[in-house]
């Protein structure tokens, strides 16, 4: 899959093995626009953040971008001033070959925290990437982004804007909010729509809040999380802004692409084989609903219970109780899918086998109502198996 997928008009891409990883595994990717593109971005909130994140934050101020260059295998995090120099060198090398300003190149890294980037491999790799991008391949690009991912992650949307066909192609990598030695989630989104930078930044932020910011594999937030988008206008539409007639379909398509990619990350969660949607309603606010949902989604006791096909609702009550959301025990109701296990804070008389049937599925929902207000939130997560521990002990 993805092999014959077309990039949006005016974009090329490539994925190659530059020798950062051993064994000829692909480890560098490029997405390049023929012309300067509007280029919003969203970054990790971690106070310890990678050199490429720091450099991308500077480049974001430039307003337009031509290309994204990334490597997997080494995160270029906790690498001090040498790491910053390497990140800038990556951008400068790409800019020189492409013929643009270094600030018009976004750079990303993902992989082990600590080591310095091997510029002797990365610099020639950039040349190889630009050459390969002439006959670029979406699948190889997505593969080059992978670390502990078991499969490449791509999502596409097609809409019509001003009567012009517009295409959005999104890439992502990630198998945990943080991975083994790695760090972590990256997503790149390319569209041939013409979009005003400011409106695009706010649409991207909104899409990320509704997608990548709603997932959790292990509750650890990485040093490298980055979502970058490029809109080059090759579709020929009038630039989209928030007052455009087609703004809503465009922003919904952007959100759909982000959401699909985010769900792919949870489905590929390290060691996980169950996808769990935690819905909280009836909180005093959406923020409190989010706190309660995250507390359930990140609780090791809930994640291991799901791994055991074990409908342990007491662990759900416990986790909402110690969350920072206001909870009145005697008001709480809980359903596994549509099967009610808790009413007024106590167990209903539903047969245990009905609940086991729900948690036996590879995809089910925990629906919690706090009955205290109108706040709602959803968090998408996965179970925690012995395999998660096995993956992460090295």
Among 227, 327, 358, 372, which residue interacts with a copy of itself (rule: CB under 8 A)?
327
Closest by CA position to 225, among listed 72, 45, 30, 31: 45
CA distance 149 to 191: 24
DSSP assignment letter at 255: H
DSSP assignment letter at 273: -
Looking at the Cβ atoms of 152 and 269, the one nearer to a copy of itself is 269
Looking at the Cβ atoms of 12 and 21, the one nearer to a copy of itself is 21
Looking at the Cβ atoms of 66 and 335, the one nearer to a copy of itself is 335
Q: Is 184 a catalytic residue?
A: yes
Q: How far is the CB of 33 from a copy of itself (least distance, A)?
A: 32
Identify which range of 32-40, 160-168, 175-183, 242-250 contacts a copy of itself by CB under 8 A: 175-183
Binding mask 198-237 for a copy of itself (x = CB under 8 A): --------------------xxxxxx--------------
The answer to whether 36 touches 65, Cβ cutoff 8 Å, is: yes
Tokens describing residue 25: 């595994």
Find tokens 């989209």 and name the residue: 240
CA distance 25 to 146: 10
**Helix/strand/coil for 312:** coil
DSSP assignment letter at 108: E
Binding mask 283-302 for a copy of itself (x = CB under 8 A): ----------------xxx-
Mark out the alpha helices in the chain (DSSP H runs). Answer: 51-60, 80-98, 119-132, 138-144, 197-209, 247-267, 286-298, 300-307, 313-321, 352-360, 386-392
CA 191 to chain centre: 17
Catalytic residue, candidates 184, 191, 223, 226: 184
β pairing state of 226-231 and 41-43: antiparallel
Q: For residue 307, state whether it binds a copy of itself (rule: CB under 8 A).
A: yes
Q: How far is the CB of 392 from a copy of itself (least distance, A)?
A: 4
Q: How far is the CB of 345 from a copy of itself (least distance, A)?
A: 6
Q: For residue 80, state whether it binds a copy of itself (rule: CB under 8 A).
A: yes
Looking at the Cβ atoms of 130 and 217, the one nearer to a copy of itself is 217
Buried-exposed string 198-210: b where 16+ CB fall within 10 A, e elsewhere: ebbbebbeebbee
Q: For residue 330, state whether it binds a copy of itself (rule: CB under 8 A).
A: yes
Looking at the Cβ atoms of 113 and 258, the one nearer to a copy of itself is 113
CA distance 385 to 262: 20
Among 158, 242, 310, 360, which residue interacts with a copy of itself (rule: CB under 8 A)?
310
Q: For residue 322, state whether it binds a copy of itself (rule: CB under 8 A).
A: yes
Q: How far is the CB of 150 from a copy of itself (least distance, A)?
A: 18
- List the catalytic residues: 184
Q: Which residues bind a copy of itself (CB under 8 A)?
A: 45-49, 75, 77-80, 112-114, 178, 180-181, 183, 218-223, 299-301, 304-305, 307-308, 310, 312-315, 317-322, 326-330, 332, 342, 344-347, 384-386, 388-390, 392-394
């Amino acid at each position: 899959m993805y092999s014959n997928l077309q990039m949006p008009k005016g974009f090329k891409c490539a994925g190659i093995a530059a020798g950062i990883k051993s064994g000829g595994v692909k480890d560098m990717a490029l997405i390049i626009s023929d012309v300067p593109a509007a280029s919003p971005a969203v970054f990790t909130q971690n106070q310890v953040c990678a050199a490429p994140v720091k450099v991308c934050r500077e480049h974001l101020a430039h307003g337009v971008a031509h290309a994204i260059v990334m490597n997997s295998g080494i995160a270029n995090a906790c690498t001090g001033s040498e790491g910053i120099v390497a990140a800038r060198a990556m951008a400068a090398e790409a800019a020189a070959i492409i013929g643009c300003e270094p600030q018009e190149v976004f750079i990303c890294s993902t992989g082990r925290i600590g080591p310095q980037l091997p510029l002797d491999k990365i610099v020639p790799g950039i040349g190889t990437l630009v050459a390969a991008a002439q006959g670029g391949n979406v699948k190889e690009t997505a593969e080059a982004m992978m670390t502990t991912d078991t499969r490449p992650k791509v999502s596409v949307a097609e809409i019509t804007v001003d009567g012009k066909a517009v295409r959005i192609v999104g890439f992502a990598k990630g198998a945990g909010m943080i991975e083994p030695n790695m760090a972590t989630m990256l997503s790149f989104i390319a569209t041939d729509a013409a979009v005003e930078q400011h409106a695009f930044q706010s649409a991207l932020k909104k899409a990320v809040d509704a997608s990548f910011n709603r997932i959790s594999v292990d509750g650890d937030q990485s040093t490298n999380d980055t979502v970058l988008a490029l809109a080059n206008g090759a579709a020929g539409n009038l630039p989209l802004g928030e007052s455009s007639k087609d703004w809503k379909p465009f922003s919904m398509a952007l959100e759909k692409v982000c959401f699909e990619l985010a769900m792919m990350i949870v489905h590929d969660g390290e060691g996980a084989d169950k996808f769990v949607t935690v819905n909280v309603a009836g909180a005093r606010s959406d923020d409190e609903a989010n706190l309660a949902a995250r507390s359930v989604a990140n609780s090791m006791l809930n994640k291991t219970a799901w791994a055991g096909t074990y409908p342990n609702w007491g662990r759900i009550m416990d986790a909402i109780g110690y969350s920072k959301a206001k909870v009145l025990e005697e008001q709480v109701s809980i359903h596994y899918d549509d099967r009610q296990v808790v009413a007024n804070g106590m167990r209903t008389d539903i047969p245990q086998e009905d609940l086991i049937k729900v948690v036996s599925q590879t995809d089910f929902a925990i629906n919690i109502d706090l009955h205290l207000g109108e706040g709602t939130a959803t968090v998408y997560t996965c179970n925690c198996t012995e395999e998660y521990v096995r993956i992460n002990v090295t």
